Amino acid sequence: MKVRVAHLYPDYLNIYADRGNIAVLERRARLRGHTLDVTGVGPGDGLPDGGVDLFYVGGGQDREQALVAPDLAARGEAIRAAVAAGAALLAVCGGYQLLGRGYRGRDGSWLAGAALFPLETVAGETRMIGDVLIECSFAPGAPQTVAGFENHAGRTLLDPGAEPLGRVVAGFGNDGRSGYEGCRVGTAIGTYLHGPLLPRNPWLADWLLARALENAGAAAALEPLPDELERAAHAVAAQRARARGGKA
């Protein structure tokens, strides 16, 4: 099965090698006999013909975010409709902020977003940097953990009733106060976790891949892969986050 991927603004939003998340999805799909058809989408470009099964947008510096923000906001309706119809989405850091309603700078300026996630972000006075560990409950049963690295000055405030990606075990998360990290709307995930995120969190990579395959018309069930190295990388990152010292 071919999975159609729209990689939004790859030349602008790729801090901390966020592009590596696409490499992980490509490899894990290929090992199951599927392929990713990845289209880089820049400002003014059209989305791939025939639809999108998975959107991906990484993080970037303030200047690059400001450059792409108007274009992303203009795509808001199309992205919201695609996610509502089942397309998967992963947004990291700056991309996560810009898929909310908008970003308020320290000078009071307002950068409108795509309004997919029910949240707003305001600039903070200090950066929140370090390893992060969060606990997620995507399905009945034992919660699963996600490990990553955060570096952001924005404080993201979820609307009442909004669903976070997870609960912070160690690190700052969305705002350093709420105890939440990221946001989830159906098949869409936003997070501050860089690193890139997916190499050390293979269960999350497979969750996104399964949702994209479902949207493409394939069965969502994925054969397990030998993830010894990935699990070892997760364990190291999780321990590093725990050593950072408790909850946000």
Q: What is the pLDDT of residue 248?
A: 47
Q: Which two tokens stand for residue 1?
A: 């099965």
Q: By C-alpha distance, which of 246, 131, 145, 127 is closest to 193? A: 131
What confidence tens digit (pLDDT) does each residue in 102-155 have?
A: 999 999 999 999 999 999 999 999 999 999 999 999 877 789 999 999 999 999
Q: How far apart are CA 64 and CA 12, in angstroms?
A: 6
Q: Decide if 103 contacts 114 (C-beta within 8 A).
A: no
Residues 6 or more apart whose Cβ sits within 8 Å of residue 236 = 200
Containing structural domain, residue 211: 2-244
Reported as a pLDDT band with limits 50, 70 and 90, residue 245 is low
In whole angstroms, what is the distance from residue 58 CA to residue 191 CA? 10
Look at the chain and report how many structural domains it folds into. 1
Q: Which residues contact 200 (CB under 8 A, 6 or more apart)?
A: 147, 148, 230, 233, 234, 236, 237
Residue carrying structure tokens 């305001």:
122
* CA–CA distance, 201 with 94 (Å, rounded to integer): 20
pLDDT tens for residues 7-35?
999 999 988 778 899 999 999 999 999 99
93 is catalytic: yes
pLDDT tops 80 at residue 246? no
Per the annotation, the verdict on 194 as an active-site residue is yes
Provide CB contacts within 8 A for 59, sequence distance 6+.
Answer: 13, 14, 15, 16, 18, 92, 93, 94, 95, 96, 194
CATH of the domain at 172: 3.40.50.880
pLDDT for residue 24: 97
| Separation CA 119–CA 81 (nearest Å) | 18
Catalytic residue among 7, 34, 152, 194: 194
Residue 91 has pLDDT above 60, yes or no: yes
Binding-site sequence positions for substrate: 127
- Say what the pTM is: 0.95
Which residue numbers belong to the known binding site?
127
Cis peptide bond prior to 196, omega within 30° of 0: yes
